[in-house]
A and B are shown apart, each in its own frame.
Chain A
């Protein structure tokens, strides 16, 4: 089957970029990632939900328990990411809007690059934070626990707790936004120099 590529329409790319701007802006107020912990004592679960600018949930209780194993308390102030993420999301949204106004290939590459950068920054710093919290345990803590890294996604068992980590809308929306921006850039691609490319891509799709 042959997929027909739509002709680059200025209206379509503009709407894609506006939608991307809205989606990434929404991430400023939506939860990004969460972890739920259960044990016999907490059958209803203890929850931690990370937003772009704050961490909410049963943080006091989680910190009270973590103190026994010498884990650093989870506080908003501890994470520089929580200061930067809203600004980065806001800037990305602004860049998307600017790209929508200009509506040219080169202008669309700017938010695309920015958003890819933020995604890499976000994932790397998260991975590092999870490692840090499970490894940099106070050696004078009452209980010694072998160092561990809570997973970014999925289930885990640590001491008496079963945990489940998940990404949620604040992460998914910017990813969709990035896909929209990428699609817009694709549609705006300079056709003359890359004339042969779409045909090759299309045949690859068809295979």
Chain B
């Protein structure tokens, strides 16, 4: 039986050798030692009472908002409502913001861009695009409030390649993601390749007020314009956009628009576009003057770039244009000097795209850097390195910018790689798209968190990770969960911004502002069935504390928060009327509603203000039709028993200087 035993043994070992399942190691996985954890904790901990170093303004995607976090703590500090109502600050409930939002109650914010002076952030405005409703908005950084929403911009469908700002805030960029018929309202989709067109647009920014208007618009072939970038230094007069679907395909674009090996980067001389607009070298579409680049030479060129490129970025020196083809594992570095030389020598491909000259790839390219799989966007550290997000590989690649030595191995240019969790889209470094990057922090804005947080059910946030990029190798130090859905962001040092702490009374230009309870006044126009009142709000009462109207009246209330003290915010919530105005100290807001239902409805302060916050309330008396109003005199002025002289707040905070600048 000896032999049988041996056979058993042999078979047994064969079985074990055949192997069972084994989970391989995650490629490139990084582990943190206890020491690493401790230094990461120290590097990101901002102790109670201390301030973060940087403002992170990150887009809220289809939430329609902009979020502010502090870096390095990554704490969410505030939400700036832009395209969607936000009862927390009363946005979208008062007349001014309702009018600004127009008929839309959402937007899709992708790419925030800070205003710049001399190629660096100047702390004046933040521009954000709306990919959904073809708009662009301006946030004033003095009070971090949305001040203007421009659009829908004509000839634009899906404003994606937006809102990058030129070196001295001359223009913010706008581009169509989806091409549509231009010059005529409708053409069947079958005629996509010929009748449909795209457009790229420069939004003029008033240098003093920031007021936006359409500066120039250029008609393009029906590519899908993706990301934009503005030049710097030698390329400062130029704007760039990547495209996909140069196949001009319709249907399932994931395949039909991925057939050609190269798509294009559009290179626009915005100075030339500006001049063409001025000279009237345009035609009219949707009431807009629009440039046909085939007829106006020198405005637009096309540069072939790797398959379905996503991001295009210009390095801090403005000499190199970097473009990443998300379906090929390289970032392509183009020399702007070579691009200019080709343009000057008219060294173009024989073909054109609808009359637009195409530059020779080989003339412009400097290097194809093998950064990794699914490269999207690139940011800079000002120390000669670029950082590219790799969506498919779920990592950040750090690589060397030119100049390169002759015959350098492209692989050797990639000096470091950091896996991120998971699937990074955009990334942002401190002042990373300016001429003067700070080179200390990088935030990886990941598209998936895949439950790295406490389980909050199927609807989950994204994850954003903080990387320390001071050293030769990147170090991951923190992770936070960002609301849907960050695309791009801006990371700006806190010293650049000088926001006010409240609205100084002396600066108020609102004709309906009142600064004493005696100023409160309610008038009724019986003929027009409107009631208009000035309401005074201060700790802890409204004046008047009762307002009488007739059922069916249109009611307009101008509410002034007369406080001059930081954080003394008052709300005006009207029960059962879908109304909440939130008024910052020194601010006046106007609300308008129709008193449709007879009855008595309380209004109260919604934003906790003082020990007697609960007492800060009043009543709206809606008198049924046909019953006489009791509070109005012959002149239509409401009378009520006024309170005694104002006790505190308005005068109390008067030494606050307003900290305006």
Q: Do the two chains belong together in a single complex?
A: yes
User: Are the CB atoms of A34 and B394 closer together than 8 Å?
Assistant: no
User: Are the CB atoms of B18 and A40 closer together than 8 Å?
Assistant: no
Task: For B15, give its contact among A38, A43, A164, A176 (CB under 8 Å).
Answer: A176
> Does B185 make an interface contact (CB < 8 A)?
no
User: Are the CB atoms of A153 and B24 closer together than 8 Å?
Assistant: no
Point out the residues of chain A lying under 8 angstroms from B450, CB to CB: 41
Q: Could you mark each residue 103-131 of chain A with 1 if its beta carbon is under 8 Å from any beta carbon of chain B, else 0?
A: 00000000000000000000000000000
Residue with the highest number of chain A CB atoms closer than 10 Å, among B21, B29, B259: B21
User: Are the CB atoms of A6 and B4 closer together than 8 Å?
Assistant: yes
A interface bracket (residues with beta carbon within 8 Å of B): 35 or more
**Nearest chain-A residue to B420 (Cβ)?**
A40
**Nearest chain-A residue to B15 (Cβ)?**
A172
User: Are the CB atoms of A41 and B2 closer together than 8 Å?
Assistant: no
User: Are the CB atoms of B255 and A141 closer together than 8 Å?
Assistant: yes
Q: How far is the CA of A72 from the CA of B393 in the complex (A)?
A: 22
Task: For B20, give its contact among A4, A44, A142, A168 (CB under 8 Å).
Answer: A168
User: Are the CB atoms of B22 and A36 closer together than 8 Å?
Assistant: yes
Task: For B24, give its contact among A160, A163, A179 (CB under 8 Å).
Answer: A163
> Does A143 make an interface contact (CB < 8 A)?
yes
User: Are the CB atoms of A41 and B21 closer together than 8 Å?
Assistant: no
Point out the residues of chain B lying under 8 angstroms from A168, CB to CB: 18-21
> Does A63 make an interface contact (CB < 8 A)?
no
Task: For A38, give its contact among B10, B23, B328 (CB under 8 Å).
Answer: B23
A195 to chain B, nearest CB (A): 18
User: Are the CB atoms of A39 and B3 closer together than 8 Å?
Assistant: no
Point out the residues of chain A lying under 8 angstroms from B421, CB to CB: 40-41
**Nearest chain-A residue to B419 (Cβ)?**
A40
Q: How far is the CA of A183 from the CA of B3 in the complex (A)?
A: 10
Q: How far is the CA of A167 from the CA of B19 in the complex (A)?
A: 6
User: Are the CB atoms of A38 and B2 closer together than 8 Å?
Assistant: no
Point out the residues of chain B lying under 8 angstroms from A153, CB to CB: 19
B-facing residues in A156-206 (Cβ within 8 Å): 157, 159-164, 166-169, 171-172, 175-176, 179, 183
Q: How many A-B residue pairs have CB under 8 A?
A: 106
Task: For B395, give its contact among A40, A47, A167, A169 (CB under 8 Å).
Answer: A40
Q: How far is the CA of A141 from the CA of B20 in the complex (A)?
A: 34
**Nearest chain-A residue to B423 (Cβ)?**
A41
Point out the residues of chain B lying under 8 angstroms from A144, CB to CB: 307, 327-328
> Does B612 make an interface contact (CB < 8 A)?
no
**Nearest chain-A residue to B374 (Cβ)?**
A160
Number of interface residues of B (CB under 8 A): 41
Q: A41-B394, A142-B255 are in contact. Are A183 and B7 (CB under 8 A)?
A: yes
B432 to chain A, nearest CB (A): 23
Q: A160-B394, A166-B18 are in contact. Are A41 and B422 (CB under 8 A)?
A: yes
Q: A3-B2, A41-B394 are in contact. Are A157 and B255 (CB under 8 A)?
A: no
A-facing residues in B396-425 (Cβ within 8 Å): 419-423
> Does A134 make an interface contact (CB < 8 A)?
no
User: Are the CB atoms of A40 and B19 closer together than 8 Å?
Assistant: no
Q: Could you mark each residue 136-147 of chain A with 1 if its beta carbon is under 8 Å from any beta carbon of chain B, else 0?
A: 000011111000
Q: How far is the CA of A159 from the CA of B11 in the complex (A)?
A: 36
A91 to chain B, nearest CB (A): 22
Task: For B258, give its contact among A40, A44, A142 (CB under 8 Å).
Answer: A142
Q: A3-B3, A4-B2, A39-B394 are in contact. Are A167 and B18 (CB under 8 A)?
A: yes
B23 to chain A, nearest CB (A): 5
> Does A10 make an interface contact (CB < 8 A)?
no
A177 to chain B, nearest CB (A): 10
Point out the residues of chain A lying under 8 angstroms from B307, CB to CB: 144
User: Are the CB atoms of B11 and A176 closer together than 8 Å?
Assistant: yes
Task: For A40, give its contact among B2, B7, B259, B394 (CB under 8 Å).
Answer: B394
Task: For B255, give its contact among A12, A140, A171 (CB under 8 Å).
Answer: A140
Point out the residues of chain A lying under 8 angstroms from B28, CB to CB: 40
User: Are the CB atoms of B24 and A164 closer together than 8 Å?
Assistant: yes
Task: For A143, give its contact among B20, B27, B327, B419 (CB under 8 Å).
Answer: B327
A-facing residues in B1-43 (Cβ within 8 Å): 1-4, 7, 10-11, 14-15, 18-29
| Known pairs A36-B21, A40-B419, A44-B23 / 10 extra A-B pairs, C-beta < 8 Å | A3-B3, A5-B3, A38-B26, A38-B27, A143-B327, A144-B307, A163-B24, A172-B14, A176-B11, A183-B7
In the assembled complex, 26 residue pairs joining A and B whose CB atoms fall closer than 8 Å, in A order, are A6-B3, A6-B4, A36-B23, A38-B23, A38-B27, A39-B394, A40-B393, A43-B29, A45-B24, A140-B259, A141-B258, A142-B254, A142-B255, A142-B327, A144-B307, A144-B327, A155-B24, A166-B18, A168-B18, A168-B19, A168-B20, A169-B15, A175-B14, A176-B14, A176-B15, A179-B11
Q: Which residues of A contact B (CB under 8 A)?
A: 3-6, 12, 34, 36, 38-41, 43-45, 47, 140-144, 153, 155, 157, 159-164, 166-169, 171-172, 175-176, 179, 183
